[in-house]
Amino acid sequence: MMKMTNTTHIGVDVGGTFTDVALYTESDLTTAKVPSTEDQSVGVMEGIEKACEKAGVAREEIDAFSHAMTVSVNALLERDGAKTALVTTEGFRDVLEIGRQARPDLYDLDVEKSEPLVPRKRRYEIGERATPDGIERAVDEREVRELAREIGSDVESVAVCLLHAYAHDENERAVAEVLREELAVPISVSSEVLAEFREFERTSTTAVDAYVTPAIDRYVGRLAERASETGVPVPKIMQSNGGIAEADTVRRHAVTTTLSGPAAGVVGAKAAVGDEKGLVTFDMGGTSSDVSLVREGEIERTTSSKIDGVPIGVPMVDVNTVGAGGGSIAWVDSGGALRVGPRSAGAQPGPACYGKGGERATMTDANVVLGYIGSDTALGGELTLDIEAARGALADLATEAGLEGALEAARGVYRVANANMARAVRAVTVERGYDPRGFSLVAFGGAGPMHAVALADSLDIERVVVPRPAGVLSAFGLLSADEKHDAVRTHRAPLDEAETEEIEGIYDELEARVRGETATGEPEISRGADLRYVGQSFELTVSLGEFDADELETRFHAAHDRSYGYRMDESVELVNLRVTATALQDSPKIEYEGEGTAELGTREAYFPEVGYRETTIYDRDRLAPETQIEGPAVLEQAESTTVLSPEWVGEISSDGTLTARRNE
C-alpha cells in the first residue's frame, strides 16, 4: 500500500488505447486503467467510477480532479478539427502555405508538405497596415462587416492574424470585435494567442488555436457537465507547458492543450524520481512513445514545436514522439522491409491478442509471443489475452515478410520498435550535445517498462528507474502538477539601448495577465528574456529578476557558451519578454510496504542474447523494499509489466520504485 498526505485528488489521463486513473486520499493511492472510448469523456467517467469503487471512496468525496487528454493532438493528427477561416492582412493570404520555403526533406524529390489547416478558399484578406512602429492604415469597419457576410455561417471558427499585431494590436482587435458581433463562432486573435514576431509561426499557432477550440470547448464542457452530475469537481486541465489550468481558461486558450498527455507523464516522472544526475523520460503507451529530458531539476521546455508539420509557438514540454506503442501495427513496406507504426490498432479492435476482432500483428502481440506477457496476464487488471490469436497474426506477418514463423516475426517487430525508440532518445540527447550515458532512463506507460532495459542496453545507459505507479504515471503526474500560465510579447531592441522603464512596464502588463488567469492562491512570478547575437536567427531564453542590461548580457554569454560551446564578441539583441506564473501544489508523498518476494511461477521468455530462458514471474505489487531481483525476470502489475534481461538486476526502494542496473 502507498501512503501519502493530502486531500482526495483524482488524476485521469486519456491515451490512445487506455484511460489511466490515479486516486489518492490521506491514506493511500489507488490506480485503475480502462479502455479509451470514442467520446473520451465516457471513458474518463468509467475510470473514475472504477477507481472510486476500488478505493471505497464516494465520488462526492473527491476534492480535486485533474485531467490530461488527447483531443487537440488527435484533431491535428487526424485533420478533423473545426472548419476554420483565416483573416489576414492584404497580400499575406498564403503565409500558411509558403511557410519558411523549406523542404521537409531536402533530398526527397517526392516529399509532400502537410496541407494547411485552413484551405486557400477560406483565407481572407483585409485592407489595413501596421508596422513595428505603429498603425499606418486603420481598419475600415464597413469592410470587416462585408467580410463577415462573405465568411457567412459556413465556418466553425475564425483565426485573425494581421501583420505586426504583436507590436500594435489595435487593428487586429478592431477586426475581432466586429467579427464577434457578426459571427456566432469562436474568434482566435494572434495578439492574444502568441504576441510574438515571425509571421508564419504566429499565424500557424493562431490557426491551430482556432482549429481545435470548438472540439476542446465541446469536450471540456461535456466532461465538466458529466462530472458535476455525478458529484465530481469540474476538472483542471493539463496544458502543454506542464502546468494545469482551470477548465474555462483552456476553453479560451485551446492551443495550450496540444501536448496535454505527454506533458503529464514528464511531470509524473520528475515527481516520482526527482532529478539526480538527469533523467531521460520514456513513456510507451498504446499508440506512441514519448521521450523527454529533465536536467538539473528542470523539465526541458521549448517554444518551437511541430505537430504533424504544423508549427506551434506556445511554451511546451519538449517531447519527441515516435509512432511505436503497444498497439502499433507491424507491416511490410514496398521494399520488403519490416516496419512498426505509426498506425495503431487502438483500443478497438486492438491487438490480435485482445480477442476483439483485431487481425494485424502489433507490438503487444510480439511481446506475447516472446513470453514477456503471459496468457494469464490481465492487462489493465481485467483484459485477458489470446496467445494463439497473437501467434496467428505474427505468422501471417512472417509470411508477408519472408520470415520463418511467428517467433522470428516477433523478434523482428521487437528489434524494429526498439530501434525507433532508441532514435527518439538520441534525438533529445546526442543530437543536442548530451551523452545519454550520463542519464537515468525513467520508464513508464503500459509498455515502457517492458522495453526499457533492452533500450538502455542499446544506448549504454547504466540505470533504469521504474516508478511504482509506472503504468499510470501520467495520471499520477496530474496529482503533482502546479498551476502554470505563460505570457510573452516581442520587444526588439539592442540590449545596450533598451529602456528599463519601458521594459518594466511591459513586464508589469504581462504579470498582471498571468496573475489574472491564476485561480489557486498567490503565484510565483518568473521572468525571462529571449536574446541573440545581432545577425542570428534564433534566440536563447535567459531568466532574470529586475531588468539589468549588463547582468542580462553576462547571463546570455554564459548560456550561449553552455548551449553551443562558444560565445561571440557581437552585440546582443533583446527579442522577446516572457513571464510565467506558477501556483505550487503539494506533491504526493508515497510510502510503500510490500509483502515478500511474491513469486508467481515461471514461463519461457525469449532474450536475444541467450534465446529462450526459464524466467521467474513476480507480482510487482507484493515485492518488499530492499528485495533484489536478478534477471531474467518479469515483474507484473495491473497496469504495466517490467522485463529484466539476464544481465540486469533490480532492487525495490522504500517507496516501491524499481531501480535496475547491469549485473557486474
- pLDDT band at residue 378 under the 50/70/90 scheme: low
Burial 530-569 (b: 16+ CB within 10 A, else e): bbbbeeeeebbbbebeebebeebbebbbebbeeeeeeeee
For residue 609, CA distances in Å to 457, 527, 612 come to 11, 51, 9
Which pLDDT belongs to residue 286?
Answer: 80
Question: Is the model's pLDDT at 384 over the cut of 60?
Answer: yes
Average pLDDT for 527-555: 94
Is residue 382 very low, low, confident or very high in pLDDT (cuts 50, 70, 90)?
low
Nearest to 399 by CA among 412, 387, 388: 412
DSSP assignment of 644-658, as one string? E-TTEEEEE-TTS-E
Burial environment of residue 142 by CB neighbours within 10 A (0 to 12, 13 to 18, 19 or more): exposed
Per residue in 110-122, pLDDT (tens digit) is 777 788 999 999 9
Of 1-10, 128-137, 300-309, 328-337, which range is least confident?
1-10
Cα–Cα distance between 663 and 554 in angstroms, integer? 46
C-alpha cell belonging to residue 664: 557486474
Instruction: State mean pLDDT over 11-26.
Output: 88
Predicted pLDDT at 5: 41
CA dist., res. 35 & res. 354, Å (int): 11
Q: Which pLDDT score, from 0 to 100, does residue 7 have? A: 81
Q: What is the DSSP letter of 254?
A: G
Is the per-residue pLDDT at 596 higher than 80?
no
> Of 5-9, 69-73, 570-574, 616-620, which range is least confident?
5-9
Least confident of 155-169, 345-359, 386-400, 473-487: 345-359
- The pair phi, psi for residue 639, each rounded to 5°, is -105, -10
Residue with cell 499508440: 287
483-583: which CATH architecture? 2-Layer Sandwich (3.30)
> Is 26 a residue whose pLDDT tops 90?
no
Rounded Cα distance between 611 and 505, Å, is: 67
Q: How distant is the alpha carbon of residue 609 from its chain centre? A: 34
Poorest-confidence range of 379-388, 472-481, 557-566?
379-388
The burial class, CB within 10 Å (0-12 / 13-18 / 19+), for 148 is: buried
Q: Looking at 111-125, 126-140, 154-168, 247-261, which range is the least confident one?
A: 111-125
Q: Which residue type sits at 100?
A: R
**Phi (first) and psi of residue 326, to 5 degrees:** -60, -30
Distance CA 357, CA 458 (A): 35
The percentage of the chain sitting over the pLDDT mark of 90, rounded to a whole number, equals 70
Segment among 163-172, 429-438, 584-593 with least mean pLDDT: 584-593
**Distance (Å, whole) CA 437 – CA 433:** 12
List the grid coordinates of 112: 509532400
Asked if 287 and 259 touch (Cβ cutoff 8 Å), the reply is no
Q: What is the pLDDT of residues 449-460, one digit of tens each?
A: 999 999 999 999
pLDDT of residue 2: 43
Strand partners, 581: 485, 525
Q: In this predicted structure, which of 101-115, 152-166, 287-301, 453-467 has the lowest mean pLDDT?
A: 101-115
In this structure, of 462-471, 582-591, 626-635, the range with the lowest mean pLDDT score is 582-591
Whether the pLDDT of residue 291 is over 90: the answer is: yes
Distance CA 429, CA 432 (A): 5
Tell me which range, 322-336, 376-390, 482-496, is most confidently predicted by mean pLDDT. Answer: 482-496
Distance of alpha carbon 502 from alpha carbon 513, whole angstroms:
17
- Report, as an integer, the average pLDDT of 85-104: 90
Instruction: State yes or no: pLDDT of 383 exceeds 70.
Output: no
For residue 489, give the DSSP letter.
Answer: E
Residue type, 360: R
What confidence score (pLDDT) does residue 306 get? 87
What are the sequence ranges of the domains in the chain? 83-185, 328-415, 483-583, 595-652
**Least-confidence region, from 99-108, 162-171, 217-226, 512-521:** 99-108
Please report the pLDDT score of residue 377 as a whole number.
63
CA separation for the pair 262, 241 (Å, rounded): 10
Angle of helix 405-428 versus helix 387-401 axis, rounded to 10: 80
Question: Cα(75)–Cα(78) distance, rounded to whole angstroms?
Answer: 5
The residue-averaged pLDDT of 559-587 equals 92
Q: Is 120 exposed, middle or buried (0-12, 13-18, 19+ CB in 10 A)?
A: exposed
Most confident of 67-76, 248-257, 634-643: 248-257
| 120 grid coordinates | 486557400
pLDDT tens for each residue of 154-176: 899 999 999 999 999 999 999 99
Give the pLDDT of residue 189.
Answer: 97
End-to-end CA distance of the chain: 32
What is the mean predicted confidence (pLDDT) over 128-156?
94
Residues 6+ apart with CB under 8 A from 192: none
pLDDT digits 0-9 by tens, 180-198: 999 999 999 999 999 999 9
**Arithmetic mean of pLDDT over the chain:** 90
Q: What is the pLDDT of residue 73?
A: 87
Residue 297's pLDDT is: 85
Tell me the pTM: 0.90
Q: Range with the lowest mean pLDDT among 480-494, 564-578, 592-606, 649-663?
A: 592-606
Rg, Å, the chain Cα set = 26
Is there a contact between 235 and 270 (Cβ–Cβ < 8 Å)? no
| Contact of 348 with 37, CB cutoff 8 Å | no
